[in-house]
Amino acid sequence: MYLWDLVGQDTSAGSLCSGLGDDLAAITRAVEPLLAERAGCAARIVEVVPLMSVLHLDAVHVPTGREWLGRRDGHGGAHWEARHRSAGPGAACCLPPAAAAAAGVTARATAGGTGAIAG
């Protein structure tokens, strides 16, 4: 599974849009036009695996360490850079509330401050 988000010029404003999907190629094809049309400045896709949270017995999305950073290129398209970050079970991801609602899940914070995603 993959969590993705698109940010604008002002990164302090948060994500312009985000989502959850299971097809990396489809996500990149959907995000590239947004980058090319200058709707967003950069996109990040993070590979995650669903695991059970021991705090709430809900599913959380834990990064595997694989991620891709997409930026506009000079030819009206997008350039993707594959990156690897160290990841562990303590690094659970959550969707912003609007994206979670669109994906049919609810997001809430757990006691440890990480997000949990429940279906």
The Cβ-side half-sphere exposure at 72, using a 13 Å CA radius, reads 16
Q: What is the DSSP letter of 47?
A: E
- Strand 78-84 with 59-72, pairing: antiparallel
Please provide the size of the chain in residues.
119
Strands 115-118 and 15-21 come out as unpaired
**Contacts with 82 (C-beta within 8 Å, 6 or more apart), sequence order:** 66, 67, 68
Residue 83 burial (CB count, 10 A): 12
Question: Would you state the pLDDT for residue 106?
Answer: 36
pLDDT of residue 5: 93
pLDDT digits (tens, 9 = 90+) for 14-51: 889 999 999 999 999 999 999 988 888 899 999 999 88
Domain map (residue ranges) of the chain? 2-118
State yes or no: pLDDT of 117 exceeds 90: no
Instruction: Pull the structure tokens for residue 115.
Output: 């997000």
Bridge partners of residue 100, in order along the sequence? none
Give the separation between CA 75 and CA 65, rounded to whole angstroms: 30
Mean pLDDT of 2-15: 87
Q: Comparing 45-49, 56-60, 78-82, which segment has the lowest mean pLDDT? A: 56-60
